[in-house]
Chain A
Amino acid sequence: MTASTLTIKDLHVEIEGKEIVKGFNLEISGGEIHAIMGPNGTGKSTLASAIMGHPSYEITKGSVSLDGEDVLEMEVDERARAGMFLAMQYPSEVTGVTTSDFLRTAINAHREEGDEIPLMKFIKKMDKNMETLDMNEQFSTRYLNEGFSGGEKKRNEILQLLMLEPKIAILDEIDSGLDIDALKVVSNGINNMRGESFGCLIITHYQRLLNYITPDHVHVMMQGRIVKSGDASLAQRLEAEGYDWIKEELGIEDERVGQEA
């Protein structure tokens, strides 16, 4: 597999007539790990959902493309099949559908009809990835996310990442709600994906995740756009000093969206 590139240009996103993302630019290529940090309510999840095609968000301006293909023209499932993945901050629960059935259907959706993944191969892959993530095998037969704890849902998102092997993944607060051990395990899983054919955008509030997954680039998001970028050391400085110095540097009074006027 060769490296893919996701290009986001001057993206503007509205919800219910209110602009949340305001001119977001970023290029993510295979082999790169980007981290986005930023205070609450600055548009990070909105950005992630909009890129994946969430129906409630309206893109009013800008473009998103994957290896030159217009992503915004694609349905949500087409984006996934093109190689995109979003680990959600709040994954849905689906009753009556086991995690394993769901994943098998998802994997087969990525394959041609008549070329479904053989059951044994699927089971092996599932076992291996669940072991990597230190997940009890009962999770495969439990209904998708139903009654899962916060941390278990996050692990399940990463399990899906490992099973689907996307080209570009966006991970929205995959570390929230994880205990220290789980954080290591999940980071380990993500690190296993690292390589030329995998690009990743990690949204997080905490430097500690980035201790395990060293990012190539760190971006700070405020008021719906990137206001500062740097390397891994930027995350360390944010952890130590908070966001005030950036706000001062840029003359921002309130970092949340809709507060700037």
Chain B
Amino acid sequence: MAVETKWAFDRETVKSWSEKRNEPTWLQEKRLEALTNAASLPMPKPDKTKLTRWNFSTFENIDSDQRAIESYSDLPGDVARLAGEESKVNSAIIQRDGKVAHKKVAEELKEKGVIFTDFETAVNEHSDLLEKYFMGEAVRSDENQLTALHTALVNGGIFLYVPKNVEVEVPLQAIFWQDDVKVGLFNHVLIVAEDQSRVTYVENYVSFEKEKAAANIVTEVYVGQGAEVKYGAVDNLESGVTSYIVRRAHVQKDGRIEWALGQMNEGSTISENTTHLLGDGSYGDTKTVTVGRGDQVQNFTSNMVGHGKHSEGYILTHGVMKDEASAIFNGINKIEKGGTKAHSEQTGRVLMLSSKARGDANPILLIDEDDVTAGHAASVGKIDPMQMFYMQSRGLSKLEAERLIIHGFLEPVVGELPVEAVKERLSEVIERKVY
């Protein structure tokens, strides 16, 4: 192993690292500005969770010297399984510690003008597009200390660009694998779906080592007029990883986004998902499921903000809590002044499997407009004994009945994921986390 010098993350280090990567000036400047500002910015403030004792800086490095793995069959089994059988993989990018480990992009995508590439390549080949969108409107560098650090240190991720009127039929897949716990996972996913385009994207975050590590993840999705984006994700970082995750979308007139998020990290996690329904007639749907176990502490915020008229925003959150895990589920439906005829709904349900676990469903309606319809339902409880009796009366053992009920409870997201392999792996993760 090479001699490890503690990464100082001062101006000089970031500057020379950016130069080494041949980054355009605008990006280097953006990084340096963010780095300078980071120290004076506040930490994020998720509702009902204090971050004072959270450590998001348990990393020593942001640069990995990992190389690409030429042959699919040489990928570690646990990683390859996420993508599925090689023959069934259409377009997938697999990254290890921010570096491309394997990349397969269908020719037809290129022919249609679709860009699906890793962040580093995108910065060099599509600098103008990146400059326009990266840490632009949806997530800003100066929001808080962690978004600033993200900009300064981003070391991996992907860029997906779908031109106007282009429909991508096959789901595009990304796998972000944190192999070396010393390398911080500063991952950025940027999706731009131009007007009337359509695309489905699904990602996995995964790690296998239990040591302390850090993840700082940002997704920005820009959905053009009449465009449709389906976004699936399974987060499954190991117990030592402290994660800060922000996924946001801006949706223009008649555009649609559907999120299906399997939030299955094993460690401390702050995860925010926000959709701004900017245009009239825009539509947003967030479905998110989680299983908390061990002593992990998590905070999930789902946020639907209606700006345009006739917008529709839906939030569904299902959480299963066991052991001594604790989680806050903030569901926020906001309708801004002027968002007439907007409709918004949320359901939050938490299933408690242990008396020592803590689950808090916290629905918030912030409505600044009269002419809207909104509804919410929240519940925290145990498995319904009548359901158990019903299922056991058909011969299912207590364990089998519980299993079916829990898998069913988490099905809203499992069922939405577009790739069979990803679906199956999520079911396995659920199985492993619950039993």
Considering only CB atoms, which chain B residue lies closest to A82 in the complex?
B395
Determine whether B72 belongs to the interface, using a CB cutoff of 8 Å to chain A.
no
For A77, list chain B residues within 8 Å (CB).
392-393, 395-398, 401
Please determine whether A97 and B394 come into contact, CB atoms closer than 8 angstroms.
no
* Smallest beta-carbon distance A146→chain B, Å: 9
Please determine whether A91 and B390 come into contact, CB atoms closer than 8 angstroms.
yes
Determine whether A222 belongs to the interface, using a CB cutoff of 8 Å to chain B.
no
Please determine whether A96 and B412 come into contact, CB atoms closer than 8 angstroms.
yes
**In the complex, number of A-B residue pairs with CB atoms less than 8 Å apart:** 84
For A109, list chain B residues within 8 Å (CB).
394-397, 400
Determine whether A76 belongs to the interface, using a CB cutoff of 8 Å to chain B.
yes
Please determine whether B394 and A92 come into contact, CB atoms closer than 8 angstroms.
no
Determine whether B76 belongs to the interface, using a CB cutoff of 8 Å to chain A.
no
Please determine whether A88 and B390 come into contact, CB atoms closer than 8 angstroms.
yes
Determine whether B60 belongs to the interface, using a CB cutoff of 8 Å to chain A.
no
Bound complex: CA of A46 vs CA of B197, how far in Å?
59
Q: With A94-B387, A96-B410, A96-B411 in contact, do A76 and B404 touch (Cβ < 8 Å)?
A: no
For B400, list chain A residues within 8 Å (CB).
105, 109
Please determine whether B385 and A102 come into contact, CB atoms closer than 8 angstroms.
no
- Which size bracket describes the interface of A in this complex? 20 to 34
Considering only CB atoms, which chain B residue lies closest to A91 in the complex?
B390
Bound complex: CA of A102 vs CA of B398, how far in Å?
14
* Smallest beta-carbon distance B401→chain A, Å: 8
Partner of B394, one of A53, A93, A160: A160
For A56, list chain B residues within 8 Å (CB).
385
Determine whether A55 belongs to the interface, using a CB cutoff of 8 Å to chain B.
yes
Partner of B408, one of A52, A80, A96: A96
* Smallest beta-carbon distance B175→chain A, Å: 26
Please determine whether B395 and A106 come into contact, CB atoms closer than 8 angstroms.
yes
Which residues of A from 135 to 153 have beta carbons under 8 Å from B?
143
Determine whether A86 belongs to the interface, using a CB cutoff of 8 Å to chain B.
yes
Determine whether A194 belongs to the interface, using a CB cutoff of 8 Å to chain B.
no
Please determine whether A76 and B408 come into contact, CB atoms closer than 8 angstroms.
no
Please determine whether A95 and B395 come into contact, CB atoms closer than 8 angstroms.
no
Partner of A52, one of B387, B393, B397, B410: B393
Please determine whether B392 and A75 come into contact, CB atoms closer than 8 angstroms.
yes
Please determine whether A94 and B405 come into contact, CB atoms closer than 8 angstroms.
yes
Considering only CB atoms, which chain B residue lies closest to A56 in the complex?
B385
Interface flags, A72-112, vs B, CB<8A=1, else 0:
00011101110001101001111111000111011001100
For A103, list chain B residues within 8 Å (CB).
394
For B411, list chain A residues within 8 Å (CB).
95-97
Bound complex: CA of A238 vs CA of B404, how far in Å?
43
For A64, list chain B residues within 8 Å (CB).
none
* Smallest beta-carbon distance B36→chain A, Å: 49
* Smallest beta-carbon distance A33→chain B, Å: 21
* Smallest beta-carbon distance A232→chain B, Å: 29
Please determine whether B405 and A76 come into contact, CB atoms closer than 8 angstroms.
no
For B384, list chain A residues within 8 Å (CB).
92
Please determine whether B389 and A97 come into contact, CB atoms closer than 8 angstroms.
no
Please determine whether A97 and B407 come into contact, CB atoms closer than 8 angstroms.
yes
For B389, list chain A residues within 8 Å (CB).
49, 52-55, 76, 92
For A54, list chain B residues within 8 Å (CB).
389
For B396, list chain A residues within 8 Å (CB).
77, 105-106, 109
Bound complex: CA of A88 vs CA of B391, how far in Å?
11
Bound complex: CA of A52 vs CA of B389, how far in Å?
9
Determine whether B8 belongs to the interface, using a CB cutoff of 8 Å to chain A.
no
Considering only CB atoms, which chain B residue lies closest to A81 in the complex?
B395
Bound complex: CA of A109 vs CA of B405, how far in Å?
16
Determine whether A174 belongs to the interface, using a CB cutoff of 8 Å to chain B.
no
Determine whether A164 belongs to the interface, using a CB cutoff of 8 Å to chain B.
yes
Determine whether B3 belongs to the interface, using a CB cutoff of 8 Å to chain A.
no
For B407, list chain A residues within 8 Å (CB).
96-97
* Smallest beta-carbon distance B333→chain A, Å: 22
Determine whether B1 belongs to the interface, using a CB cutoff of 8 Å to chain A.
no
For B398, list chain A residues within 8 Å (CB).
75, 77
Determine whether B17 belongs to the interface, using a CB cutoff of 8 Å to chain A.
no
* Smallest beta-carbon distance B316→chain A, Å: 11
Bound complex: CA of A80 vs CA of B393, how far in Å?
6
Determine whether B59 belongs to the interface, using a CB cutoff of 8 Å to chain A.
no
Determine whether B386 belongs to the interface, using a CB cutoff of 8 Å to chain A.
yes
Bound complex: CA of A182 vs CA of B363, how far in Å?
42
Considering only CB atoms, which chain B residue lies closest to A101 in the complex?
B404
Please determine whether A102 and B394 come into contact, CB atoms closer than 8 angstroms.
yes
Determine whether B409 belongs to the interface, using a CB cutoff of 8 Å to chain A.
yes
For B397, list chain A residues within 8 Å (CB).
77, 109
Residues of A within 8 A of B (CB): 49, 52-56, 75-77, 79-81, 85-86, 88, 91-97, 101-103, 105-106, 109-110, 143, 160, 164
8 contacts between A and B (CB under 8 A): A52-B389, A53-B389, A76-B389, A96-B408, A96-B411, A96-B412, A96-B415, A164-B395
A-B contacts besides A92-B390, A96-B412, 8 pairs, CB < 8 Å: A52-B389, A75-B398, A77-B396, A96-B407, A96-B415, A97-B404, A102-B394, A164-B394
